[in-house]
């Protein structure tokens, strides 16, 4: 009876949390979806239709992309780094007056190459074309990760994920980076060269590709590593050929000013910066202390990636750890970058469906899913500064699941050995 009770308890603990079932998932996600739709509709009404002062319509960040495209198409591409020129075009599209919060172009020439055709179309149409192209790529990545299911229970929280609506609000490139990173990781074991190409295309946002080479090297995936390096080289070469090599020099010159204005003054940045560095600055820590604390967390996250990828942990846990480290290593991330949180959540859902759950997993995953809602809070709260805590705790969930599995295997092996020894003695 004792053994039977132990087995029953083990099975009950490995099942999904009782408060997370298909019905509740649909209801909770539908409520958040209504909030997202309400905020989006409000911005459309006041920003696009009524043109209320200083209320930006959807696509306020895409306005910078479109303006950079126009400047590159009508003159030397290096003009995109002239803040006065780009503000002249972007500010009317953003429906805001000139202020200290400038809208500079701080993206690499590789991303300028991607948005170069944007100004061929009117701003609103171009925004929708780029938005839905990114959504299609992100949707494809989700279909490769999700476990097969007949109901749409999995899809409702994906559609309602607050970060996806923040990306749609801004017209940012996060759907594109989500798709490239998600598809790259899913292709890694079966089509490593294609995975390397997808990783290399993340050169549009280099800070999101810092941890990937580490994972490829420790797992000895030489084909993906070589493919990624070759893709980055060709991508940069093509950007230099089309846009001019001086765009790379201007990009290098623009970075220190951007760091001075945004990163070092992150305690005044709207909604806060969604990194450990941003959180430290929000709580009043001095600049060296903030950098030091961020470095400690970044090193820890990178060490987790090295450990899990070198130890050949399950694919889902390795993939989740890689994306979470990608979010913890850069010093600068904005709320729209939190779309990437959806990837580790999806992989943990798949891992839980296959291998069971441990206590607390569901709570942390739900908190991480809700974390981007901080964007809707008043700017003076800088609530995004609290998001790195959920990201780091979600990484601890990955580590705990891996350790629990190793302990479980060790106990199982010990039990089998004891049983075999008892049988021999009998």
Q: Can you say whether the dihedral through the CA atoms of 229, 234, 235, 239 is positive or negative?
A: positive
For residues 352 and 361, the answer to whether their CB atoms sit within 8 Å is yes
For residues 356 and 15, the answer to whether their CB atoms sit within 8 Å is yes
| Segment 142-151 long-range contacts (CB within 8 Å, at least 24 positions apart) | 142/182, 142/342, 142/346, 144/182, 144/183, 144/186, 145/182, 145/186, 145/343, 145/346, 145/347, 145/350, 146/346, 146/349, 146/350, 147/349, 147/350, 147/353, 147/354, 151/22
Q: Which distant-in-sequence residues (6+ apart) come within 8 Å of 79 by Cβ? A: 71, 72, 85
Q: DSSP label at 212?
A: H
**Extents of the domains making up the chain:** 2-425
Question: pTM of the prediction?
Answer: 0.90
Alpha carbon separation from 71 to 3, 84, 111, 114, 319 (Å, rounded):
73, 12, 14, 14, 39
Q: DSSP label at 205?
A: S
Dist CA 258 CA 205 (whole Å): 15
Give the distance between the most distant pair of CA atoms in the chain: 89
- The CA-based dihedral angle spanning residues 295, 296, 301, 304, taken in that order and rounded to the nearest 10 degrees: 140
Burial annotation 157-183 (CB, 10 A radius, 16+ → b, else e) = bbebbbbbbbbbbbbbbbbbbbbbbbb
- What six digits make up the tokens of 372? 């981007």
**Going residue by residue through the chain (426 aa), what tens digit of pLDDT does each one get?**
333 333 333 333 455 566 666 677 888 899 999 999 999 999 899 988 888 887 888 998 999 999 999 999 998 999 999 988 998 899 888 887 665 555 678 899 999 999 999 999 999 999 999 999 999 999 999 999 986 654 556 788 999 999 999 999 999 999 999 999 999 999 999 999 999 999 999 999 999 999 999 999 999 999 999 999 999 999 999 999 999 999 999 999 988 888 877 666 666 666 668 899 988 888 888 889 999 999 999 999 999 999 999 998 999 999 999 999 999 999 988 889 999 999 999 999 889 888 888 888 888 999 999 999 888 877 666 677 788 999 999 999 999 999 988 776 666 666 655 555 666 555
């Amino acid at each position: 009876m004792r053994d039977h009770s132990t087995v029953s308890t083990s099975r009950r603990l490995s099942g999904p949390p009782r408060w997370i079932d298909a019905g509740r998932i649909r209801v909770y996600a539908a409520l958040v979806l209504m909030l997202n739709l309400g905020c989006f509709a409000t911005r459309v009404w006041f920003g696009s239709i009524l043109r209320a002062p200083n209320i930006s319509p959807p696509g306020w960040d895409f306005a910078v992309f479109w303006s950079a495209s126009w400047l590159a198409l009508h003159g030397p591409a290096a003009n995109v780094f002239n803040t006065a020129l780009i503000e002249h075009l972007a500010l009317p599209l953003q429906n805001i007056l000139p202020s200290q919060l400038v809208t500079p172009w701080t993206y690499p020439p590789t991303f300028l190459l991607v948005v170069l055709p944007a100004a061929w179309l009117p701003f609103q149409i171009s925004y929708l074309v780029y938005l839905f192209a990114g959504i299609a790529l992100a949707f494809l990545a989700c279909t490769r990760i999700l476990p097969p299911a007949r109901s749409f229970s999995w899809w409702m929280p994906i559609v309602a994920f607050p970060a996806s609506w923040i990306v749609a609000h801004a017209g940012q490139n996060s759907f594109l980076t989500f798709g490239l990173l998600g598809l790259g990781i899913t292709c890694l074991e079966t089509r490593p060269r294609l995975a390397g190409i997808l990783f290399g295309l993340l050169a549009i946002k280099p800070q999101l590709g810092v941890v990937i080479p580490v994972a490829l090297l420790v797992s000895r995936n030489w084909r993906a590593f070589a493919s990624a390096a070759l893709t980055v080289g060709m991508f940069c070469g093509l950007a230099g050929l089309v846009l001019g090599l001086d765009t790379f020099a201007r990009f290098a010159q623009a970075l220190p000013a951007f760091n001075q204005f945004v990163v070092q003054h992150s305690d005044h940045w709207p909604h806060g910066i969604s990194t450990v560095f941003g959180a430290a600055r929000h709580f009043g820590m001095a600049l060296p202390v903030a950098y030091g604390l961020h470095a400690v967390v970044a090193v820890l996250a990178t060490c987790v990636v090295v450990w899990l990828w070198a130890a050949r942990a399950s694919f889902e846990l390795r993939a989740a750890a890689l994306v979470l480290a990608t979010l913890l290593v850069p010093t600068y991330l904005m709320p729209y970058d939190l779309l990437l949180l959806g990837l580790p959540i999806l992989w943990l859902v798949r891992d839980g469906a296959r291998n069971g759950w441990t206590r607390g997993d569901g709570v942390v995953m739900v908190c991480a899913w809700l974390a981007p809602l901080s964007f809707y809070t008043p700017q003076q709260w800088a609530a995004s500064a609290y998001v790195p805590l959920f990201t780091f705790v979600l990484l601890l969930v990955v580590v705990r699941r891996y350790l629990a599995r190793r302990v479980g295997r060790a106990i199982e092996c010990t039990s089998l050995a004891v049983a075999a020894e008892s049988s021999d003695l009998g």
